[in-house]
Amino acid sequence: MRLNSAQELRKKIDPMKLPKHVAIIMDGNGRWAKKRHLPRTAGHQEGMKRVVEIVEVANKLNIEYLSLYAFSTENWKRPKEEIQGIMKILVQYIRMELERIHKNNIKIQVMGDLKRLPDAPRKEVERAIEKTKNNSKMILNIGLNYGGRDEIVRAVKNILEDIEMGKLKKEDIDKELFSQYLYTHNLPDPDLLIRPSGEIRLSNFMLYQVAYTEFYFCDTYWPDFKEEDFYKAILEYQSRNRRFGGV
Ligand code: FPP
């Protein structure tokens, strides 16, 4: 039987050396649309289809944690129509996929302040979190109204509040305790961060958590990012020698 290129790549992946946590900055939706003379929202719509596929691929590969950057604290600066478009697509995604996500034993979790989201997407997201809260095969961690600096400032404030309330002492604060005050308190740090679309920057994503993460950049726009591209990133990760500051 002849295998297609995705299957060929999949076969090369060492199941013993999988990244536990993969994080993705889904970028290039706007440029993908522009190249086709389509509205930017069309790029986000196509990007949502890739979310469906990559969640499935990651789950089948037994990736335990998948973090996706869907909407940043800075994205509120975009035109109203585009923001509304992204929110609509998010609602559509949950309505379309929640049953399957639940059946696949995936737990949905959010990093970011949900309170600022409009009612409809906020309620859908809360429904998804509630429905999947006891699932255990994979955590799908979605960044919504998320910013790494905001997350750190929020952690500092919460730590101070706990000190004021006598729940914590200054001496208790160390790296591990600090991590417990981040949105990702129940997740290990990402092993691999993927950013498609040719941009080589972090854009305020998981600033505290990526201290020792392996970065993978590629030129493909997110709406073109297929199963093969995900496998290529994993294979590149497996070829790296992680030293965590040691030798
Ligand atoms: C970045 O591309 C992408 C976004 C800001 C939105 C991402 C949203 C989705 C993929 C859809 C919904 C998400 C989920 C989880 C269902 P860009 O617009 O910055 O692209 P550009 O840099 O080419 O302009």
pLDDT tens, position by position, 58-68: 999 999 999 99
8 Å CB contact between 85 and 116: no
Q: Which residues are catalytic?
A: 27, 75
Handedness of CA 79, 80, 85, 87 (dihedral sign): positive
Residue of the CA atom closest to atom 15 of ligand 1? 70
Question: Region 14-37: what's the mean pLDDT?
Answer: 98
- Which atom of ligand 1 is the closest one to the Cα of 92? 16
**What rounded mean pLDDT belongs to the chain?**
97
CA angle 89, 138, 10 (to 5 degrees): 90
Q: Could you tell me which residues come within 8 angstroms of residue 183 by beta carbon, excluding any fewer than 6 positions away?
A: 110, 111, 112, 141, 146, 151
Q: Is the pLDDT of residue 100 over 80?
A: yes
**Cα(60) to centroid(ligand 1), Å:** 24
Q: Is the pLDDT of residue 1 over 70?
A: no
Residue of the CA atom closest to atom 11 of ligand 1? 48
Q: Which two tokens stand for residue 199?
A: 């941009």
**SS3 of the chain:** CCCCHHHHHHHHCCHHHCCCEEEEECCCHHHHHHHCCCCHHHHHHHHHHHHHHHHHHHHHCCCCEEEEEEEECCHHHCCHHHHHHHHHHHHHHHHHHHHHHHHCCEEEEEECCHHHCCHHHHHHHHHHHHHHCCCCCEEEEEEEEECHHHHHHHHHHHHHHHHHCCCCCHHHCCHHHHHHCCCCCCCCCCCEEEECCCCCCCCCCCCCCCCCCEEEECCCCHHHCCHHHHHHHHHHHHHCCCCCCCC
Is the pTM above the cut of 0.95?
A: yes
> For residue 197, how far is the Cα from the chain centroid?
16
**Cα(194) to centroid(ligand 1), Å:** 14
> For residue 89, how far is the Cα from the chain centroid?
16
pLDDT of residue 4: 80
Write down all domains in the chain, each with its CATH number in brackets. 19-147+188-194+202-238 (3.40.1180.10)
pLDDT tens, position by position, 70-94: 999 999 999 999 999 999 999 999 9
pLDDT of residue 149: 98
- Which atom of ligand 1 is the closest one to the Cα of 68? 15
pLDDT tens, position by position, 142-191: 999 999 999 999 999 999 999 999 999 999 999 999 999 999 999 999 99
pLDDT tens, position by position, 192-239: 999 999 999 999 999 999 999 999 999 999 999 999 999 999 999 999
